[in-house]
Structure 1
Amino acid sequence: MDEAMSSIMKEMSETFERFGKAAWRKQTVYGIKSSEIRVLLCLNQLTNESDHGVNISDISKRLSVTSPTVTQMIKNVIAAGLVERFNDSTDKRITLLRLTSKGEVVVQKATERYQFLFSGLIEKLGEEQSRTLILLLNEVYNHFYEVSSNEWAHEDE
């Protein structure tokens, strides 16, 4: 590997590390962890899209995380009074989820915060650079997804 490539790799790696440590990722809304905020936002979005209700596997699929992970976060937000369980009206064996009024307030506050963060970024970068950033971030995601799905999957063989 040549020196220029090594330098770029180091700079890119350091940049990704800074994102992982970024304070804005760890901020809470009303003391609720960012991962739980993502679950609440997802529940809100799925509720708006669905006429049958939302269950844990719906959230798990949308967020691309395991059901046990979502289950633990749901337990936490239920304990905080942000989400409630209820039985499906057509099949009482099915448990569905919905935001409480307190949960709706947290979702509204989180939505306002994200709108503030991203609108400020778009204003700073401008529309063209913002669209370029979206394109590049999607390419980064796709690359990492492909590499983790293919190359590293055979490491144990």
Structure 2
Amino acid sequence: MADKLNKIAERLMESYFQSQVSGNAMQNRSIFNKKPGEIMVLHFISTNEKDDSPGLMVSEISEKLNVTSPTVTQHINSLEAQELVQRHADPADRRIVRIRLSDKGKAYIRLIHEARLAMFVGLVQHLGEEESLRFAETMKKASDYMLQQREKYIRSLSD
């Protein structure tokens, strides 16, 4: 029985990592002309900034993306130079710097979203509606499980 589970787990692991490679290809620098980290920061800002808020702090972005603040700052510097984000002083505390997408950044995120959506529409057409919904449910369950197991996995590597 353990042998059968191991074989299934190996196949699942192979499929999982193949999907990671495919997903990373979607963030390929040659396709979007940006570093994957820059796209990740842009996407995070776009989904987490509220219209009525002053923007996000680097520390908030870094904590949620699980990367260091200096790494986020490097991406923000590059994105600001490309006029995709803007830095603003917090109105309540001028020592705090807030980050918001510029209009150009919002347009860029829309372009990426439309390209990704078109690819996934193609996937739905390839798999069919029923299998796509089942796949989405299974991926969500798998993702939830992986997030729950993450700390245990990290601890096991440091033992």
If the TM-score is normalised by the length of the shorter chain, which range does it land in?
A: 0.7 to 0.9
CA distance in 2, matches of 1:122, 1:129: 8
* SS in structure 1 of the partner of residue 91 of structure 2: coil
- Offset at residue 105 of structure 1 (A): 2.6
Q: Specify whether residues 30 and 144 from structure 1 end up closer, same or farther in structure 2 by C-alpha distance, changes over 3 A only.
A: closer
Q: Which moved more, 1:96-105 or 1:60-69?
A: 60-69
* SS in structure 2 of the partner of residue 51 of structure 1: coil
Normalised by the length of structure 2, the TM-score is 0.78
Normalised by the length of structure 1, the TM-score is 0.79
- Offset at residue 84 of structure 1 (A): 1.7
Q: Specify whether residues 62 and 114 from structure 1 end up closer, same or farther in structure 2 by C-alpha distance, changes over 3 A only.
A: farther
Name the amino acid aligned to 1:27.
N
Could you say which residue in structure 1 is the equivalent of 2:18? 18
- Offset at residue 147 of structure 1 (A): 2.5
Asked if 1:79 is matched to 2:84, the reply is no
CA RMSD of aligned residues (A): 2.6
CA distance in 2, matches of 1:48, 1:76: 23
Name the amino acid aligned to 1:38.
M
- Of 137, 155, 159, the residue aligned with 1:135 is 137
Structure 1 ranges of 4+ moved more than 4 A = none
1:119-154 deviations in Å (ceiling 9; x for gaps): 222233333322222221122222222323235425
- 5+ residue gaps, structure 1: none
- 5+ residue gaps, structure 2: none
Could you say which residue in structure 1 is the equivalent of 2:37? 35
1:41-97 deviations in Å (ceiling 9; x for gaps): 221222235523222233234434443432232222123222121112232111111
